Each structure stands twice: as structure tokens, then as C-alpha cells.
Structure 1
Amino acid sequence: MRGFMREEQRITIENYNKIAASWTSKRNPDYWSKEFSKFQELLPAGSVFELGCGSGIDSRYFSDAGYNYTGIDRSEELLKIAKQNHPKNRFLKMDLCRLGLKSNLFDGFWAAAVFLHIPKEDIKQALLELKRVLKKNAIGFIALKDGHGEELVQGSEKDDRRFFAYYSLSEFGAVLNENKFEILSMSQSASDSCNTSWLIYFVRSA
């Protein structure tokens, strides 16, 4: 298992720490509401694991609906905001590729715009660790940006440089199949106000 942080990931985490407050203020709390409704149909109750929870905006979906929620992130500043704004939810600082959690814990997972920060050569390890902490037949939601390749992107703010890995719908679908995730549905959204087209997957852990 890899025991170090890649430079592009270090830059990404450092920059999320720098822009945590402004990044949070720009987030639409209802952005994934349609996807959450579908997730809830597939998994009406249980324990849910959010990968890359950031400032905890999406955690509200789960706490309001009565799920047993755990969220992880690597940005200390985003986690501080999450704990302040959602004190009843459980937030942990943790690396997805090296989860300090027991196996077979969660009935479902939520991964909105998180795997896009994982280098492609590390995605298998990330999915293996995720699969380890999931119960059999766990339900999951994944959102990634459509595109090709990998790059460090300069954002609109001075300190905003972040790493992104892009996929096509079929490319990441193949990654999921290779790692024993059954695809229940996959779709591609039209470009949003930020000119982002999202790849949306609902999956079941085999």
C-alpha cells in the first residue's frame, strides 16, 4: 500500500485549507438533492459513509433523513467548518486510500466530487479500501467530472490550485466493473452554470 502523499494531492489539500471559508460560502446546499432522492429510494435507512465530506454540506441530507452518518476528509479547515455547522454528525480526518476503520461497517456511501481528486494510478487502491469498509450489497453514489486526462487547475482565487482526474462515462464504468461494483445506473448531466458536465453513477458493492 502506498505510504506517502503525492505532490498534487498535497497542493490540493493545502489549497482547500486556504479557501475553506470562501469555498463553503459558494456551495449550493441543494445541488445534489435530486440524486439524494434516488439514493434514498435505493437505501431508505442505515449507516452511510461520505467520502470527501468537505464542510459537511451534504451531511444534512443524511442527518435530516435519520441515517447513521460518518464523513471523512483530509482538509482540517473544511472539517472545522463541518463540525461547527453540523455538530451532531461524525466527521473524521482520513485518507481514502488508507482508511483507519474496521471492515464491513457501512450500508451505503456518498462520493460527490471526490474521486476526481485521486490520481488515476491510485483509484484502484481507493476503491479497494472503500469496498473493505462496506457491507455486502451496500449502495453508493458517485459523481465525477467528464473529461480526459489529469491536471492541476488554477481556480478563480489566488490560492486555488487543485488536482483533477477526468473520466468518460464508459471509462469510469469500466473501473467500477473491474473493482467489483455493480452499476445500477449511470448517466451524464448537461453542463451546469460552471460549465461542468457530471458523470453520475449509482452502484452496489458486490
Structure 2
Amino acid sequence: MAVPGWLDDTRTSYDTVAVSYADLLRDALAAEPFQRGILALFAELVRAQGPGVVADVGCGPGRITGYLDGLGLDVLGVDLSPGMIGVARRDHPGLRFEVGSMTRLDLADDSLTGLLAWFSLIHVPDDEVPGVLAEFRRVLRPGGVVLLGFHAGDGSRLKTEGYGGHPMHVHVHRRRPERVAAWLEAAGFTVEAELTHRPAPDVEGGFVFAHR
């Protein structure tokens, strides 16, 4: 599915909801033991590769970035939305955050030990995903770990309102873990695990672990 103007729409939408998004989701991870376990496993796999920087790509207001910092990782948050980065810097003043796009990361080749995209690929159209994953591979060093989290399922929908009733204009794409795994393999990654989590009826999350 091609979505013209998706980058500008995503940036504007998340600038609009940044403050309310942070307020609504700030403590959400406390009620998600499966997600905390998945992030702990990611941190363990990254630490096994030795010291190095981990990028939380699509970090939003930095809630997962802060959690990874608490797990002992040297973490950098990157997000397309300047509004989100402003909130992240406010809420986590001791951490590093940068405005940037996952389509062209301002990071050197082979510079990361790990990369997390936690429900941030959900707005990337299908035809853009291979290029994004190629960019992820470029910035990861050999052996580097990648974890992708996303809404599992099929189809896309246009989200026009969210996080306190603010206007948005973003397409939300659902994908099956096996499809995401196939994209990763085509980009040159070795896939290690595909997981599905069903926290509630009609709610399904997908997670794929891979390494370069």
C-alpha cells in the first residue's frame, strides 16, 4: 500500500498529540508484563554483544527509551516528531534524543549494538518498509540485535483522531509476524524469533527478533 505524504502526515499528527500521548501512556508498561519481558530479553541479547549504543527508533516521548536505560543500555532515542522529542527531553533530561527519520538515520555505518522499533513501523507503507530495514541494517554492526514490535494482523486503517480526541491523519498498518520476518531476511538479517501476544480480545501484537 502506497501512502503519499505519509512522513509529513505522521510528523504533524504526533506533534499534535505529543503531550496527551505522553500523559496517557506514561505508566502503561507497568501493566504489561509480557512487553517488559520482551524488552528484558532484547536488553540481554544486546548486552551479550558487548558495549555499544542502542537506538530506540520512533521513540515518541521516550517512555521505552527510559525503560531500556533502566535495564543498563546506552540508549539514544530518535523520532520524526519534534513535539515528541521535546516531551522526551522534558521527561527524561538525562538521556539523549534526536529528531530524525527512520528512512534516513543520521548515524554512521556499523555504529549500533542494538536497534528497537517499538510500534513505530506501523505507519510505514509496505513499499517503504524494505528501504527502512536496509537503513536499520546499515547502522547496526555485525551481530547487532534488532527488535521490531508492531500491531499484528492484516489490513490498514486511517486514524483520524486519537490520544484525547486530537485530530490525526495516519494510516495504521497491521502485519503478520511471518511477513515482517520475511522482510527482515530479505534485508540481510538472520531472524531468531517471531512472537505473538494477545493481551485482549481482538488485540494482537507481533514481535520479531533478528540480528545482522
**Normalised by the size of structure 1, how large is the TM-score?**
0.89
**Does the CA-based 8 Å contact 2:17-2:166 persist in structure 1?**
no
Structure 2 unpaired stretches of 5+: none
Q: Deviations over 1:76-135 (max 9, x none)?
A: 111001011111211111111111221111101111101111111011111111111110
Instruction: Return 5+ residue gaps in structure 1 as ranges.
Output: none
Q: How far apart, in 2, do the equivalents of 1:83 and 1:158 lie?
A: 22
1:40 is aligned, of 40, 43, 46, to 43
Determine if the alignment matches structure 1 residue 131 to structure 2 residue 140: no
Structure 1 stretch displaced more, 158-167 or 79-88: 158-167
Q: Select 1:15's aligned residue among 13, 17, 28.
A: 13
SS in 1 for 2:85: helix
**Equivalent residues of 2:194, 2:207 under 8 A apart:** yes
**Alpha-carbon offset, residue 176 of structure 1:** 1.2
**Partner AA of 1:33 in structure 2:** R
1:37: Cα distance to partner? 1.3
Indicate if the aligned counterparts of 1:141 and 1:200 stay in contact, CA closer than 8 A: yes
1:173 aligns with 2:181: yes
Q: CA deviation at 1:177?
A: 1.2
Given residue 208 of structure 2, which amino acid in structure 1 is its aligned partner? Y
Residue 204 of structure 2 corresponds to 197
Say whether 1:162 aligns with 2:170: yes
Moved more, 81-90 or 32-41: 32-41
Tell me, yes or no, if the aligned pair for 2:43 and 2:73 is still in contact at 8 Å: no
Structure 1 residue 65, shift from structure 2 partner: 2.8
Number of equivalences: 200
Q: Which residue of structure 1 lines up, in the alignment, with residue 68 of structure 2?
A: 62
Q: Deviations for 1:164-201, whole angstroms, at most 9, x for unmatched residues? A: 222112211211111111111111111438x4311111
Letter of the 1:8 partner, please give it: W
Mapped partners of 1:118, 1:124: distance in 2: 10
Alpha-carbon distance in structure 1 between the residues aligned to 2:203 and 2:141: 32
8 Å Cα contact 2:40-2:71 kept in structure 1? no
Shift of 1:150: 3.0
Query: Comparing both structures, which one devotes a greater share of its residues to helix?
Result: 2
Percent of pairs with identical residues: 21
Mapped partners of 2:175, 2:39: distance in 1: 22
Aligned to 2:125: 119
